[in-house]
Chain A
Amino acid sequence: MVAQKITIEPVTRIEGHAKVTINLNEAGKVEHAYFHVNEFRGFEKFCEGRMVFEMPSITPRICGICPVSHHLASAKTGDQIMGCPPPRTASLLRELMHMGQIIQSHGMHFFELAGPDLILGFDADPATRNVVGLIQADAGLALKAVALRKFGQEIIHMVGGRRIHPNFAVPGGVNKTLCAEDRDTILAGIDEAIATTMVGLKIFKDWAAANQEDINKFAVFSSGYMGLVTPENALELYQGDIRLVGKDGKQLEKFDSNDYLDVISEHVEDWSYLKFPYYKKMGYPAGVYRVGPLGRLNAVEKLDTPLAQKEFEEYRAMNAGKPIENTLHYHYARLIETLFAIEKVRVLLDDPDIMGKDILNTHHEFKGEGVGVIEAPRGTLLHHYVARENGQIMKVNLIVSTGHNNWAMSEAVDSVAKTYITGPDIKEGLLNRVEAAIRAHDPCLSCSTHAVGQMPMLVDINDAEGNLIKTLRRDA
């Protein structure tokens, strides 16, 4: 038979969109699969000429899904440029807001997006393999999931004053203190949030026990891993050095975010507008790495909160302490991080300094350049600005979380396609699995493409001459 090309292509909402292309060889087996991102890159240019103090308000507008991550990374960059490190109270409050972001984002992803795949099965009818099916299967669980996400969102709201476009973090600190009433309200919600997350962990572990074969063949591959760490190499989500480990878990680099250009470079492929970051010393593609929950938990040696540490030990024991390579374990890692973030909320609120009133450092020593780093839910987020002495931005470079994972998502799609496509007769279950491979990474294509989008999937099956044989469509 002739070689065939299968294209999974969403209808584009705007310029930025993504698609999957699968090329079959003449034997009907997958030659290679690609995850493409057609990127709308305009944001860096848009920021040139703006003022440093505007950036924490402007950068969240890249995307409506993870504005808090950009808001905080931008403020941290401004701290460096203006030479005004924030007072401790301000750092604690920023970190508290960030934990709210982690909780609501991870909570939503597991229970409302990935959970249906696991709880209802990859081959379940798409009509019910979704949150509606989950509600029908277990309404109580669905309500718990909603409450978990609301807990995270309410932290953001109480700390920042607004859920959308919080005008909270500024270079040098923050502009709002935390009142005792809000602190107590958050503290009161912690136990229930922990309980819900433990339910999620049980769901995943039960599913994993029953689906070990799928876990062991679904997009399992080696890579490096990267994330922020404490000086003792424990998980850090807000502030720390960046640690990069190899596929064997051994440290390759541990560096200050200001030195990222010495360590990371970006490769360009002609079939995608989104670049492929990699570790410079190893070159591309040997130096590719993964970020986000799986990447982070492979890059660290421990977690500093007790319940999450206990789960982490069980998690890493799956591979005798070596890195976990199975893509589906992103979901497991994501739940452990959710638990960590909730416990961290209590640690932060128990620190008396968080109730302080010294929240803004107004003494500036202009440095002109800064790099702000944070572990967004999806992975390491870097903001890098260069500014004139009057504070006007001259240059912006953003490396967003999903950008770091570009190679990994493409590799996952390739792996899944090669594992599950055995001929030209493409079943519905394949589309589920390709979606699941991408979904495990929780991509935010709005950030990495700086665009928002409706993204259904369209599968065109073409022969070697490009003639359309069959179309499969997954609408949204």
Chain B
Amino acid sequence: MKSTIIIGYGNPDREDDGVAWHLLNKIVAACDCPEADLFSSDVIPVKPGLEIWFNFQLLPEMADTIADYDRALFIDAHTGNIEEDISYHALEPEFQNSPFTHHFTASSCLAVAQSLKGHYPESKMLSVRGFQFAFSRELSAQTANLVDQAFALLKQDFLE
């Protein structure tokens, strides 16, 4: 059985920035793992061959772990710089510089994985549009409306 990891990142206390956290919680519920503590920032097995991982942001050292998987799904919020409200597409390694610290893309993560271990997982990116980023753990109504559709996409490819 191929090993798969689903990585969600963003700040769940900044409204729609935390959409990945909300989606990971739906995965936890679907896999019936009530004891999963996403805030442990540990990799959590949820069913045979599938693990999930939550963090506030992607970090270069996460590539060391991610490199060992066969498949990966990255989940994040976007602010409208992508045309579709829900973007779901394949990812390839490509390192992208940031002028400011603390920003590391999923493609960059794959590039680091490839450099470190000569391997990267077959990967997809699921980006959900965020509309509000104030201080709350609730999603905005607009983003909340997108969650079920986003979950259906990942469920088809990763949970079934």
Contact = CB atoms under 8 A, between A and B. Distances in A.
A318 interface: no
Counting chain B CB atoms within 10 Å of each CB, which of A65, A131, A135 scores highest? A131
A65 B56 contact: yes
Interface in B25-57: 37, 39-41, 54-57
A109 B61 contact: no
Given A61-B13, A112-B60, A131-B112, 14 more contacts: A18-B100, A40-B133, A61-B11, A64-B55, A67-B56, A129-B97, A132-B95, A139-B116, A149-B61, A164-B39, A164-B41, A431-B99, A452-B14, A474-B99
A190 interface: no
B99 A10 contact: yes
A439 B102 contact: no
A131 B60 contact: yes
Contacts of B134: 42, 46
A444 B56 CA distance: 14
B39 A162 contact: yes
B40 A127 contact: no
B57 to A, nearest CB: 6
Contacts, number: 129
A447 B111 CA distance: 28
Nearest to B57: A64
15 contacts: A10-B100, A13-B133, A18-B100, A61-B13, A63-B11, A65-B57, A67-B56, A132-B115, A136-B115, A149-B61, A162-B37, A434-B99, A438-B99, A451-B14, A456-B96
A435 B99 contact: yes
Contact of B98 (A61, A109, A456): A456
Interface of B: 10-11, 13-14, 17, 37, 39-41, 54-57, 59-61, 64, 79, 81, 95-103, 105, 108, 111-112, 115-116, 130, 133-135
A376 to B, nearest CB: 14
Interface in A84-126: 108-109, 112-113, 126
Ranked nearest first, the 10 interchain pairs of A and B with the lowest CB-CB distance are A64-B56, A61-B13, A435-B99, A14-B133, A135-B115, A476-B98, A163-B41, A46-B135, A146-B61, A455-B100
Interface residues of A, number: 59
Contacts of A132: 95, 108, 111-112, 115
A8 B100 CA distance: 12
A185 interface: no
Contacts of B61: 146, 149-150
A457 B14 contact: no
Nearest to A432: B97
A35 B52 CA distance: 39
Contacts of A10: 99-100
Nearest to A441: B101
B103 A64 contact: no
A58 to B, nearest CB: 8
Nearest to A434: B99
B102 A444 contact: yes
A327 to B, nearest CB: 15
Nearest to A163: B41
Nearest to B62: A146
Nearest to A143: B116
Contacts of B59: 108
A252 B102 CA distance: 34
B39 to A, nearest CB: 4
A326 B59 CA distance: 29
A40 B135 CA distance: 11
Contact of A13 (B41, B79, B97, B99): B79
B101 A476 contact: no
A475 B13 CA distance: 26
A454 B116 CA distance: 24
A23 interface: no
Given A108-B59, A129-B97, A130-B95, A135 B116 contact: yes
Scoring B13, B39, B101, B105 by chain A CB atoms within 10 A of each residue's CB, the highest score goes to B101
Interface in A1-40: 8, 10-15, 18, 40
Interface in A46-70: 46, 61, 63-65, 67
A142 B108 CA distance: 15
